[in-house]
Amino acid sequence: MKSFKSLLLLIMLFFLAVSCDGLKTAKNIFETSERVKYERSFKGSDSLMNQWKTNYSLARNSRLTIEDGFSADVLSDSISLHAFGYDVELKKGDLLIIEIVRDYSEPKIFIDVIAESSTGDVSQSNLIKDNRFTKLIENSGLHKVIIQPEIKCNGNFKLRIYTQPSLGFPVAGKGNRDVQSFWGASRDGGNRNHEGVDIFAAKGTPVVAVANGFVTRTGNQGLGGKQVWLRDSSSGDAYYYAHLDSILTESGKQVSINDTIGLVGNTGNAAGGLPHLHFGIYTSSDAVDPYPYIRKRDVPKVMNVINKTNRIETTIKAKSKIYSGLGEKYEVIQKINTKTKAKILAVSGKWVHIKTFDGNEGFILKERLD
């Protein structure tokens, strides 16, 4: 009987641990990140793995900043085991894309994207697959992007970090400049805020599905006039199309992205005004700004400034400045008073990502290198 009570006590303690902070640990047993899998399977020396993990921690704490549309040539060698850590401002609804271009065999390259607002220190690493990684951004704010090749990776590669809209554009043939009223704009003398965007177009312009899904409701009522509600079959988000001139779909119908579901008009409280589509997005919790989801943007060009003969080591000229970002508007991390040896990590246009031999890392103008 005594042994049974002891066993029962152990079981209770286990479930108590799991119900608190232990839940995260237990979950990770079954949902292990690619980084952790790699660390467990690594057969090399402990010193190499320890250095690799240390470099990841340094990248996690990096003060370097890039902007959406970053493109660089990266110098990677099997000795430094370097991890690249950059802060980038992202919006909820952005589709973050990280691309690698290389002309050699494909060693593993690990990607971490960590929101500044996230808590804890749980690794979220993924692997670049087919030289591409994508992630739908769930919260607006600063995000840490970490890129780290596996141990003994030796070879330069080209890197692009940029965003694209995660949804299609809701009015056929239109784009960013046709959006002329934005989220949060005052309505009815300040009594309410605009929960969507207005896209102006000629009456009768096709209105299209921004994603695959099904129509949950259509009607002609209230402020929105003729309207269509579409449920995304993947995310579960609801898309609201209002002020339509005509509805060309029906409740319960399955639709694919770019299917026409109505025509631009000025019904509801838009009567008498210029024809436009009011487009809104509603998640399970609330309405959200739809513009980042649909804003069209350019893809950055691939950098082509490094070749196989480029040296990794360089010398910084005296009276130079190292910045936290690609521009003199960014914080000065270090002032270089005398000639200083450094290692080139990446090149982006006229800016070079360098690391001094005393461990300081940042961006410097290419013209300040000998």
pLDDT of residue 278: 96
pTM: 0.85
pLDDT by residue for the chain (370 residues), tens digit each? 555 555 555 555 444 444 444 444 444 444 578 999 999 999 989 999 999 999 999 999 999 999 999 999 998 775 678 999 999 999 999 999 999 988 766 678 999 999 987 765 545 789 999 899 999 999 999 999 999 999 877 778 899 999 999 999 999 999 999 998 776 665 656 566 768 899 999 999 999 999 999 999 999 999 999 999 999 999 999 999 999 999 999 999 999 999 999 999 999 999 999 999 999 999 987 899 999 999 999 999 988 766 554 668 999 999 999 999 999 999 999 999 999 999 999 999 999 999 999 889 999 999 999 8
**Which 8-state DSSP code applies to residue 291?**
H
pLDDT of residue 139: 92
DSSP, residue by residue, 11-44:
HHHHHHHHHTTHHHHHHHHHS--HHHHHHHH--S
Q: Using alpha carbons only, what angle is made at residue 315 by residues 310 and 321, rounded to the nearest 5 degrees?
A: 115
Whether the CB-CB separation of 303 and 366 falls below 8 Å is answered with no
pLDDT of residue 347: 94
Whether the CB-CB separation of 225 and 242 falls below 8 Å is answered with yes
Whether the CB-CB separation of 166 and 136 falls below 8 Å is answered with yes
Whether the CB-CB separation of 73 and 306 falls below 8 Å is answered with yes
Whether the CB-CB separation of 120 and 24 falls below 8 Å is answered with yes
Count CA atoms within 13 Å of residue 52 on its CB side: 23
pLDDT of residue 309: 45
Q: Which domains does the chain have, with CATH numbers?
A: 30-165 (2.60.120.380), 176-294 (2.70.70.10), 313-368 (2.30.30.40)
- Beta strand 141-149 with 132-136 is unpaired
Structure tokens at 90: 């992202």
Of 155, 154, 135, 153, the residue nearest 145 (C-alpha): 135
pLDDT of residue 206: 98
pLDDT of residue 155: 75
Q: Using alpha carbons only, what angle is made at residue 36 by residues 149 and 163, rounded to the nearest 5 degrees?
A: 55
- At 55 the three-state DSSP class reads helix
Phi and psi, residue 48, nearest 5°: -65, -45
Count Cβ atoms below 10 Å from residue 190 Cβ, excluding itself.
7
pLDDT of residue 306: 63
Measured in whole angstroms, the distance separating CA 206 from the mean position of its chain's CA atoms is: 30
Helix %, strand %, coil % for the chain, to 5?
Answer: 20, 40, 40
